[in-house]
Amino acid sequence: MSRGYGLSSPPDSASAPQVEEQAVAWLRTMLLIRRFEERAEQLTMRGKVPGGVHPAVGQEATAVGFAAALAPGDTVSAPHRGHHHALAKGVSPDGLMAELYGKATGVSRGRGGSMHLAGFDVGFIGSNGIVGASVGLALGDAFAAHYRREQRVAVAFFGDGGINTGRTWESLNLAGAWRLSLIAVCENNLYAVETPTASVTGGGSMSRRAEGFGLTALAVDGQDVFAVHQAAVEARARALAGDGPTFIESQTYRYSGHGSGEGVAAYRNADEVADWKQTRDPIARCAQRLSEQGLLDDGDLEELDKEAKESVEAAVRFAEESPWPPPL
C-alpha cells in the first residue's frame, strides 16, 4: 500500500497518478477526523468535554481536499464547526483534544474550547463562534499578504448559515474590489441549525450571488475529495496569479445534529440521511476510487481506520493526563 505524501505541499503541477497516490494520505486524514469527531461527541455526552461540540461527521472531504492544495505559508480560518479544518491543516490531535477538555496543553491553552481553536505554527489562524466572522479574519490576512507582497492565500471556511449575514458579504466585497488572495469556501450542509438553507436564501444560487461581487464562483461536490482538491488548486493558482478571490460552494452534509447530542429526526427525512451515508459518504468514495486504481489493497482501509482510532485514543489519554490551566 502506498503511504501517500502528506498534506504539506501544494501539488499544482502533479500528474493524475501522483494525485491518486497522495489521496492515500487524504484518506488517512479523513478517517482521523471522523474518529476524532465521533469520540469527541461521545466524551461530551459523558461530561468529559465541557460546553459541547459541533461535529462535522460527513464533511471531511472539503477540509482535507483543500488542505492538500495549500502550501505551509497559506492560512485557514474556520467557523464554530472547525475541528476538521484544524486537523486537516495539521493541528495536533493531542493538542486539539486537550483543548476540548480545557487543559493547559490544549492548542489555546485550555481557554478557548471547541469553538476557539488556533494553530498558528501550521497556518490555522483560528476558529470562532460568530457566524460568518471567519471570512473577515481571512480577509484581513489576505490583505496582510497583499500589503507585504507575499505569495500566499488565505482560506475562509464558513457554513451555509453564514451565507445570509452582512459581515460575510462586506468581506467578500472588499476582497473582490481589492483583488485579494482570498478563497471563501461555503460548506453548504443544507441546514442552518435546523432550518433548510434553501428556504431562507433568496435567488436560489450562492454562486450567482458571489459573482455579483466580482468573484469567480463555482459549486463543487463536497463529498468528492478529488473534486474539492481540483477546485482548490485552481482557486489558489488564480489568486497567486493576481486574478482575485474565488467563492466555492462545497455541497456537503453533516450526519449529526447541529451540536453534540442533538438528533435530526425532527427536521430531516430518514431516507435523506440514509442516502447521503450510503451513496455519498466521502470516505467510502475515496476508498473505492483508490481500490479501483490499485492503491488500496484488501485490509488497507481497516488498517488505516485502526491507526486513526489509536491516534484518537492516544489524544484522549494525553488530554486526561494533562494539567488544568492556572486560575486567571
Mean pLDDT, consecutive 10-residue segments, the chain of 328 residues?
Answer: 37 58 94 98 95 95 98 97 98 98 98 96 96 97 98 97 94 97 96 89 89 95 98 98 97 93 87 94 97 94 98 98 94
The pLDDT of residue 16: 60
Domain assignment of residue 269, yes or no: yes
In this structure, is residue 222 part of a structural domain?
A: yes
Domain containing 41 equals: 16-320
- Largest CA-CA distance found in the chain, in angstroms, rounded: 55
Residue-level pLDDT at 266:
86
Within 10 angstroms of residue 143's Cβ, the number of other Cβ atoms is 17
Domain presence at residue 3: no
For the beta carbon of residue 227, count every other beta carbon within 10 angstroms: 16
In a domain, 291, yes or no: yes
Does residue 240 belong to any structural domain of this protein? yes
Residue 276 within a domain:
yes
pLDDT tens readout for residues 127-178:
999 999 999 999 999 999 999 999 999 999 999 999 999 999 999 999 999 9
Residue 248 lies in a domain: yes
56-12-173-85 Cα dihedral, nearest 10 degrees: 20
Give residue-wise pLDDT tens across range 290-302. Answer: 999 999 999 999 9
Query: What end-to-end distance do the CA atoms of the chain give, in Å?
Result: 50
Work out how many domains the chain is built from and give that number.
1
DSSP 244-277: --EEEEEE---SS-SSTT--STTTS-HHHHHHHH
Question: Whole-angstrom Cα distance, residue 248 to residue 66?
Answer: 11
At 80, which CATH number? 3.40.50.970
* pLDDT value, residue 3: 31
Q: Judge whether 4 lies within some domain.
A: no
Angstrom CA distances, 35 to 106, 234, 305, stand at 19, 30, 8
